[in-house]
Every structure is written in structure tokens, then in C-alpha cells.
Structure 1
Amino acid sequence: MQARFQGTDSYVASDDLRVAVNAAITLERPLLVKGEPGTGKTELARQVAASLGLPMIEWNIKSTTKAQQGLYEYDAVSRLRDSQLGDERVNDVKNYIRKGKLWQAFEAGEKVVLLIDEIDKADIEFPNDLLQELDRMDFHVYETGETISAVNRPIVIITSNNEKELPDAFLRRCFFHYIRFPDADTLRQIVQVHYPDLKQELLTVALTRFFEIRETPGLKKKPSTSEVLDWLRLLLAEDLSPEDLQKDASNALPKLHGALLKNEQDVHLFERLAFMARRKG
């Protein structure tokens, strides 16, 4: 019977997220995870690997990343240089093949978790260029004439921040899950995993303040789970009390607001709200 993901002691996974992970494993399809930045998409792959006792291979996608790099790269320039120097390595083209993350996952001696992180950063053609390789779990190396096939089909987890639409043909091959921002009770559980000694009164006031900030109309970037954890860490480091976090008309900005508000427009928004509150007062 295949192992099932149940979450870990350090990662609070909702019921629907656990169902999504296990469904993707059963179907042997990539799990495409979307959600706001900071909601734990990348961490999910690490926790799945830890929960199932599997190694993890991580492929971080950038705007310049090409799909071919995930398979392999042929270093023709080095081979030409070595041929000019009379190096005997040039007689074997394999000396100039660099294995990509998919190749590493395919030839691993055991099942692995393969994370393709932030796929939406790459060119729009990037997902299409990986369709066949992720579907059939093999690819051809033209320079050597060999076909690389997965010894053990990896568990593939793909994350996206929704910066651009992904092609329908790619979506059809994935099991999809959107990680919603946690409600107050779930967020409290997440915080208690990271800061078990945090006093309940401070946690209640801090989370109330956090959700007030997050739900403020006109906010350009809502603070995420990772940002509230950073903020709470600072509150503990500064030994602030619940009273220190209480909202007042003179200053709508929370204490240590730089951990929560990440652009000047949002800071100015809270400054205007404080100004308006003072005028009404």
C-alpha cells in the first residue's frame, strides 16, 4: 500500500490540501499548487518529502530558465576548447553533458519528490516544452542517442504565484489545488507550531490586528502567512505586550509594520487613515 501524506508536526495541512496531495500521488500526475506568495507552497513540497521519507530535488525557475535545462545541457564551447588543447575527453561526448533536475529525478535509485518552483516566472512556452517529458516520464538525448526514462516515477509538485496564465494543455495533465489564505483558527494553529510558548493573550491581539490590516480596503499587497510569522518573531524579540499592539487614532500603523507592509503605497494608506481618524476625533 502506497504511503499517504498526512501533514507533519511542523506543517499544518488542511484536509483539502492533504486530499489534493494524495490524489496527485495516486493519479501519478504533477500537483499544481497555486496561491498567494507566502502561503507555504514551496514548503509543502519539503514537507511531503519529509512526511513520506523521500529525498527532494528542487528546481527553482527564473525568468531566463529554459525547459531544456531541466533535462540536460550540452557544453559545446568546452568541448571545442578541449579539442583545441588536445584533451582526450573530447572523444566522449558524455563528458560535456550536464544533467538537469528532471534527469536527476528520473535516474534516482529511489522515488523522489521533484519540486518545480514558481513555474509562472518562466516564458509562456516553458510549460508546453515539458508536456511530453512530464507525461511520459522520459526524454531523448540527441547528442548520445540514448533515452532517459524514470526508474521510479517521481512525485512532481509545481508551484505558481499566478503571475501569468498557464497553457490549457499543461493544466490538463496536472491535478490542481489552490491554497486559500488560512482562516483565523487555522492561522492560530500555524503560529502555535512555530511559537508554542507565545502567550495566548498576545497571540489573540496580534492576530486580530493582523486580520484588520489584511482586510483594509485599498491595500496593494496583503501580508501573508510568512510575514505574520516574521512579525510575531519580532514582537517576541522586542518583548511587546498586548497593550503595545492596541490600535489608536494617532497612529494606524502597527508596531514593527515593516514586517507586514512591503511598499510605500500601503504605508501611506495607513497614514491617511490615521489622519482621517484624528480629524473625526
Structure 2
Amino acid sequence: MQFSSTRSYIASEDLAIAVNAAVTLQRPLLVKGEPGTGKTELARQVAESLGMELLEWNVKSTTKAQQGLYEYDAVSRLRDSQLGEERVHDVRNYIRKGKLWQAFEADRRVVLLIDEIDKADIEFPNDLLQELDRMEFHVYETGETIRARHRPVVIITSNNEKELPDAFLRRCFFHYIRFPDLETLRAIVSVHYPDIREQLLTTALTQFYEIRETPGLKKKPSTSEVLDWLKLLLAEDLGPEDLKREGRNLLPRLHGALLKNEQDVHLFERLAFMARGQR
């Protein structure tokens, strides 16, 4: 089975090679890139392309590695023991299986997405080393060892908010999703909006790349944001002439889809003020 672009996802050649290499090596694929470049969607498309079920583990700042294995609800067991419940005699009734456990016991090979691993504590990746390496873990409350029936395809995403430990990186196949060039972005847009007028697309993408390359921009707009912007342009039935940016109109039309903080909005307002002063 080989992954490549799908009907709804354009994967660059190097990205497809990275996915297939990780599958062949049976190593986690660590994917980094700007927010909005399709890292999470990649896992969904890999699962669909390879005909596998997708399990998503969305990591938060409070997430602990143990939660991916299982959680033992001692409080509920204590309460049930006080109430004289029969179920209290079987500790398995109080164990909640995590995403890794679900992936390990699946009847078929699955895709396991560990999304935004860099949000968690710095020890989080190291705490998963043995489980991802050996594909097994021990359940202390029951004394059993859970081993993977089929080694899952593990895709891990990171927005590079913090550095990941070297020991963890050594066990991964790494790929950085670069922001797409103009030709690739046009292909991505055509998947989502096949009927968009060529002149509007050319004008919009030219302006979009100009905005991304503006010096001093705090947050560059991403792929997902340009798709939102184009959707708004189509909904408003705007033409290329409506996108002209000059004088007081240096801010892009419907700029709220592209500029996501006040510093960047003020940047374009200052540029417009300076442009007026030079006349």
C-alpha cells in the first residue's frame, strides 16, 4: 500500500515519500510545519488512502502520557465499594482504555494520530518511548501486558512550540511540511473550488503571497486561511478588480480571514499611512 495525493488532499512528492518511508520502517512519522498547513488532515487522508481506521489523540497542555495507555478510576471504585456494588470486585470495570490501548488491540492495522505533541509537558514524549518502541505496556492494576496485535501507523504532529527530546526524535521519521509554492497552492485550491475563475484566482494568490512576504508580519496566513478567504470572495461574488489595494485600501479585502491579530492589522494601516504620505 502506497500513500499519494487523494481527491481532497494534495500531497507533495516529498511528503508522500516521507509517509511511505515511515510505514515501511514501522516508525512514527513526526510532521512539523506552520499551523494550517494540513498536518492533522494528513493523518485523516493517510487513513482513508490506506483503508485504515483513524484514532485521534488530541494532546493538550494538561495531557499526560499515561492517559494514552489507560486511566484507573480509583475514586469511582471507592464510591462503589461504599455502596456495596458487585462490580467493585473486578478492577477492569474501573479502567478506561486510552488511544494507544485501542490501537494496540484493534483487529486490523490502524492509523494513530498524536496531534500537537508539543503542547504537552516536556517529559510527555519521553514517557512514550518504550510503548512506541516495543509496542507494548504493562497494566499494573491487573498485572497484564498489552501488546499490539498489528503495529499501528503512528503520525505525530508538532507546531514547533517547544523542542522535542533527542531520544524521542531518534525513533521517528521526520518531515517538515513547507508552505506550498504557487503551483501547488493552485492545485490545492482547485480541489476545493474547481469552478473558481482563473483571473480571480491569479489576482487573489498574487496578493496572498505579497501579504505573506510583508516584512514585520507577526503571523503569516496559512493554507487553511487562504481557502477561507477564497470562500468568502466567492460568496461575495467579488472579481479581481475588487481586490485592488491602494491608498487607504492597503488592507486586503475581507482581511479578517487572513490577518489574525491586531499587530498585523496595524502594520498594514501604517503602511497605508506611509504610502499616502509619500504622494
TM-score range, shorter chain: over 0.9
Q: How far apart, in 2, do the equivalents of 1:182 and 1:269 lie?
A: 25
Alignment of 1:81 onto 2:79: yes
Identity across matched positions, percent: 82
Q: How far apart, in 1, do the equivalents of 2:37 and 2:3 lie?
A: 18
- 1:71-103 CA-to-partner distances (Å, cap 9, x unmatched) read 000000000000000001010000000000000
Equivalence for 2:231: 233
Deviation at 1:250, TM superposition (A): 2.2
Matches within 5 A, 1:241-260: 241-260=239-258
Q: How far apart, in 2, do the equivalents of 1:131 and 1:190 lie?
A: 35
Matches within 5 A, 1:46-125: 46-125=44-123
Matches within 5 A, 1:4-19: 4-19=2-17
Equivalence for 2:203: 205
Deviation at 1:199, TM superposition (A): 0.4
Alignment of 1:28 onto 2:20: no
Q: How far apart, in 1, do the equivalents of 2:134 and 2:90 lie?
A: 28
Alignment of 1:154 onto 2:184: no
- The answer to which of 3-12 and 223-232 deviates more is 3-12
Which of 173, 176, 179 is equivalent to 1:175?
173
- 1:18-47 CA-to-partner distances (Å, cap 9, x unmatched) read 000000000000000000000000000000
- The answer to which of 65-74 and 245-254 deviates more is 245-254
- The answer to which of 238-247 and 173-182 deviates more is 238-247
Counterpart residue type for residue 71 of structure 1: L
TM-score scaled by length of structure 2 = 0.99
Matches within 5 A, 1:140-151: 140-151=138-149
- The ranges of structure 1 where at least 4 consecutive aligned residues each deviate by more than 2 angstroms after the TM superposition are none
Residues 38 and 224 of structure 1 are in contact (CA less than 8 Å); yes or no, is this contact kept in structure 2? yes
Equivalence for 1:39: 37
Q: How far apart, in 1, do the equivalents of 2:111 and 2:82 lie?
A: 41
Q: How far apart, in 2, do the equivalents of 1:200 and 1:271 lie?
A: 29
Unaligned runs of 5+ in 2: none
Counterpart residue type for residue 226 of structure 1: S
Deviation at 1:246, TM superposition (A): 1.5
- The answer to which of 173-182 and 247-256 deviates more is 247-256
Deviation at 1:7, TM superposition (A): 1.9
- 1:205-226 CA-to-partner distances (Å, cap 9, x unmatched) read 0000100101000000000000
Secondary structure of the corresponding residue to residue 247 of structure 2: coil
Residues 7 and 48 of structure 1 are in contact (CA less than 8 Å); yes or no, is this contact kept in structure 2? no
Deviation at 1:248, TM superposition (A): 1.1
Residues 39 and 226 of structure 1 are in contact (CA less than 8 Å); yes or no, is this contact kept in structure 2? yes
Unaligned runs of 5+ in 1: none
CA RMSD for the aligned pairs?
A: 0.4
